Chains A and B, each alone.
Chain A
Amino acid sequence: MSDNKYIDRRNFIERSFRIGLGAAVAGTAGYTLLKLTRRSYVWQIDPFKCTQCGRCQTDCVLPVSAVKCVHAYDLCGYCDLCGGYFKPDANELSTAAENQLCPTQAIKRQFVEEPYYEYIIVEELCIGCGKCVKGCTSFGNGSLILQIRHDICVNCNECAIARVCPSDAISRIPVDEPYIIKGDFSFTNKS
């Protein structure tokens, strides 16, 4: 076989493969484009599904979880005896640390007017353990919820908590509505 022929044949094979591969990439891209939503996604917890298992605290890839407790004030009863603030066996309704459910004392209790108290989450302290959320959901209105905080979350390609969440509560949601905050059921009656 002469040199030229050899090189011609090689070039021809290479070109065919190149076209084939190009078509494969274009095909994949095209197919995905058909389904493409212009919006980007972020991970978020559906508070209606979350069972406060505690994995949000331990399984986030960040040293301190990007999941924090959020207060959906719309729902709060401003109770004196707050199921999210006090341990069930608390011996008095004071702000003493041993009475508090929160391991890091991240909830601030503030008097509003008789007999109402306001509860504020200090996010810097919250570690996302969900203990208060569990307390509030079991004994109160469920106004404390866990949410992924997008100023902290690095938006992993696959959220490490979503993978282990036993309630399948974490999913991708569109970036323009990045939180699922419970509303006031007595007004809107929807999630």
Chain B
Amino acid sequence: MWTRRGILFFVFTIVLTLWAYSQHQQRFPRPEFETGYEQPDATTPEPRSGAVELIDVLVLTLALSGGVWLALKKRSRKGILWLSIFSLAYFGFFREGCICSVGSLQNIALSLFDPGYAVSLNVLAFFVIPLVFALFFGRIFCGSVCPLGVIQDLVVLKPVKLPHGLQTVLGLLPFLYLGFAVLFAATGTDFIICRYDPFVGIFRLGAPFHMIMLGVLFLLIGMFVSRPYCRFLCPYGVLLGWMSRFSRRHLTITPAECIECKLCADSCPFDAIEAPTGDLSAERTSKNRNRFIVYAILIPVIAFAAGFLLNRAHPYLAKANSTVYLADLLVTQPEMQFNTENLDISTFMASGKSLATLTEEADAIRHSFAAGSWYLGIFLGLVFGFTLLNQVIYRRREGYTPHKGDCVSCGRCFDYCPVQKHAENTNHE
């Protein structure tokens, strides 16, 4: 039934839509109040101010410095554990996971490629400071500060040792993740690290169901395969690993001479402790040398091939970008233009933007994907090639030593080394 008001409203609507097509116009004038009514202001609650963000940077630096002291000087697993719990509470649960160093690499990538985007000081600090610390002292960040790492570290229950080959293959995943994260960030498409961050939902104590489930799943796996995200996904871990591998100093397992008792190797849940090597036989050496030469020649070939392949695939990659996706859809299926179900299409159609403008924008984005996929392919090819090469490079080690790239400086091994215990005992006597 149409009521009088209903009809009035209807007529009203028609008239109004015709009359006031531009939104930048007040249809109804502001009333002049006679009763002394005072118009309230629109409410605008303040965000966290910049000063508080600088405190975050300060806490980060202090926590890292504390981690260095505990890992390199004090050699205290307990200290590292408490520091890491503090970091988890502060950066994870209190600051709710954002901004984190892992995600910040996307901001940096975007700002390198997009002239219109500038990062803020605290984002830059979160990106650079842990890397600098890693370059001097190893991956202190991973062991003591990173909330994502710490939450996995705390659930390690009964770590299994993975076969070496499987570890090497899975170890390639972070490079893949890093490469794609940079490609998608640099093209302004998506921040995939943030989108698929498994733990941020837990830090915020609330998130869509699938996000929480992803986090719980990682933690469950993490009881047996320790730090699965860190070792087989984390893209920032790749950068930290590079830094740490050539770090100036690094924690040592034993405070004195290694007696090769092998106790520490079993204590490391991340398989990051390498056994001492003997001398290679002359036969192995020559075999390795031959393989080295073959691989070294292969590397540029692999890199080029990977670049070429990914470049071929760039139209598919570019579809991850919503603009490209929409343009593709409307060009290939013009009848979709009249689809009112699809919110993106109907909004675009109502916006008054022409299809030509849209395809132009899409072409520009596709263009950067074409270039980016070349770089990405070459990068991945190089990573693969150097991983192969690494298998035949012989590095002599005396005693058990942490693999500087893989060790997250958690300090578990300290307590297992009898040399240290002995030294402590004599101190106490």
Contacts and interface: CB of A to CB of B under 8 A. Distances in A.
Given A151-B46, A167-B351, 16 more contacts: A25-B128, A36-B118, A51-B350, A61-B204, A62-B204, A62-B207, A73-B40, A78-B30, A81-B12, A93-B5, A137-B23, A141-B26, A156-B98, A157-B104, A158-B190, A166-B344
Contacts of A73: 39-42
A186 B27 CA distance: 11
Interface in A131-183: 137-142, 149-151, 153-158, 160, 163-164, 166-167, 175, 178-179, 181
Contacts of B112: 28, 31-32
Top 8 A-B pairs, shortest CB-CB distance: A77-B28, A150-B47, A166-B347, A151-B45, A158-B191, A17-B246, A35-B118, A18-B246
B50 interface: yes
A109 interface: no
A108 to B, nearest CB: 12
Contacts of B35: 112-113
Nearest to B131: A25
B282 interface: no
Nearest to A75: B26
Given A14-B246, A113-B37, A39 B119 contact: no
Contacts of B8: 81
11 contacts: A21-B135, A32-B119, A39-B50, A40-B50, A74-B30, A91-B5, A112-B37, A113-B37, A116-B33, A175-B49, A181-B42
Given A32-B111, A150-B47, A185-B24, A91 B3 contact: yes
Chain A contact residues: over half helix, strand or loop, or mixed?
loop
Contacts of B322: 163-164
A74 B30 CA distance: 8
A14 B147 CA distance: 30
Given A28-B112, A178-B46, A185-B25, A157 B191 contact: yes
A28 B118 contact: no
Contacts of B103: 157
B31 interface: yes
B23 A142 contact: yes
A25 B43 CA distance: 43
Nearest to A149: B45
Nearest to A174: B120
A62 B12 contact: no
A22 interface: yes
Contacts of A75: 26, 30
Interface in B99-151: 99-100, 103-104, 106-108, 111-112, 118-122, 124, 127-128, 131-132, 135
Interface string B42-71: 111111111001000000000000000000
